[in-house]
Structure 1
């Protein structure tokens, strides 16, 4: 079943709003109203916004409004470009891009967590304890993967290279590293969640629709961003393409709804 986080933190709400509308400057009153709609207190939203400023993830302008500091968010490029994500894919030549990370330190848990998250966002799967890999079907090949992993926070001790001429047995084993059946089912469940949210909108208030759109939309975008972008030879691409198109329409409507609510100061 498709999972939606029904209790988002103030930090999550602020990041979702600012990431979805990077050109919009959000005043404190807009953020506190957004928090109220999401079941969070005004104090919670103010404290979280101030802390995020201190951490350098958002900034406060001279007009007292908040904007995103995209360069401080490692995954911003992936999240902000979900609409065009499949355009990164190129025809697969049967080779693989690999990351050898046996020298990555395990003692720094925060750094290790960031490293593993970077590999996950890049669609890498563990082949051996020391090597993770993915199909070589993304633009710019190994150089592009190096750049992506560095931006996402992968450990500098890892090495990126291309693998080819594997044995038939190895290739068969590698193909099974991704659970493509579960992946397709998850994409289809995300699609149904969007359809259900849109279908029930007439029975909810404007604020309830805004809340639902943020909760469901955030979960679906996360699903899109974390899709490994496997080539057609390994997994069907159609479910991802259809979900992205569906999510575009859903978010366009949701953004209009949210901005009208926040700019008008409405609560119902």
Structure 2
């Protein structure tokens, strides 16, 4: 692993505290985690304090940290990867559209939050101010709207369910999502986990802990940001294989990190 691939102090802390088997940690443990990735003690301490001020972390006792109220949505979204495939159903050709042209783009903070909500929910921009995705989610459109709002979409956005998009070409819509890149990523992550599972038992505990974070975070990031497209638009069997293998890899990683944290 190169330094460029190391997680930031913020990402490392949130990733570890989001794990159901850890939940909270003392500052000394956070510092030990950081040392695995060449993050110095001062950076870990400053980052933890800043996250507390932002409400992303809370400190119930001196030197003890856990996920705070502002971090709950982020961690809930991150943990939802396990059930990602349960969120999709067969696609009948309907589309979900979100119209935001009337909201403008001058408020950069609102714009970033809006674009993040679309990115995390699998929406592609079809036209300026008009995003869409296949309506292949189990949840009703009203629930998708609520999830978008929680992720930062403005409440004045207009949500539409369309059974057809007259005048559009299937090829035009399918290009909103990078199919080749998505499928290549699925295969890459599967190979990385398979190779890692074969060698973890022979690695030292620190090296194994470091590797499971590096590989596991990359896969979870892929799953949580994946557009969850239907089989008509992507290789859903390969995506499902990646998710199922990540569940196995996550279990192996949790055992390693529990052992490592006990020794910290």
TM (norm. structure 2) is 0.91
Higher alpha-carbon deviation: 243-252 or 72-81: 72-81
Deviation at 1:70, TM superposition (A): 5.3
Higher alpha-carbon deviation: 121-130 or 14-23: 14-23
Q: Does 1:117 align with 2:123?
A: no
- Mapped contact 2:23–2:67 kept (Cα < 8 A): no
Gaps of 5+ in 1: none
Deviation at 1:218, TM superposition (A): 0.6
Higher alpha-carbon deviation: 247-256 or 203-212: 203-212
- Mapped contact 2:55–2:70 kept (Cα < 8 A): no
Counterpart residue number, 1:29: 28
- Mapped contact 1:22–1:68 kept (Cα < 8 A): no
- Mapped contact 1:112–1:155 kept (Cα < 8 A): no
Misfit runs of 4+, over 4 Å: none
Counterpart residue number, 2:13: 14
- Mapped contact 1:57–1:70 kept (Cα < 8 A): yes
Q: Distance in 1 between matches of 2:138 and 2:3?
A: 31
Deviation at 1:64, TM superposition (A): 4.2
Q: Distance in 2 between matches of 1:144 and 1:205?
A: 45
TM (norm. structure 1) is 0.90
Counterpart residue number, 2:99: 100
Higher alpha-carbon deviation: 50-59 or 193-202: 193-202
- Mapped contact 1:13–1:35 kept (Cα < 8 A): yes
Q: Does 1:51 align with 2:50?
A: yes
Deviation at 1:120, TM superposition (A): 0.8
Q: Does 1:162 align with 2:161?
A: yes
Q: Spell out, residue by residue over 1:14-54, the C-alpha distance to the aligned partner (whole angstroms, 9 max, x if none).
A: 01101123753201111111111121111211111111111
Q: Distance in 2 between matches of 1:4 and 1:38?
A: 8
Q: Distance in 2 between matches of 1:15 and 1:185?
A: 28
Q: Does 1:229 align with 2:212?
A: no
Q: Distance in 2 between matches of 1:136 and 1:169?
A: 16
- Mapped contact 1:118–1:154 kept (Cα < 8 A): yes
RMSD: 2.1
Q: How many residues align?
A: 263
Counterpart residue number, 1:61: 60
- Mapped contact 1:92–1:137 kept (Cα < 8 A): yes
- Mapped contact 1:59–1:66 kept (Cα < 8 A): yes
Higher alpha-carbon deviation: 227-236 or 125-134: 227-236
- Mapped contact 2:97–2:162 kept (Cα < 8 A): yes
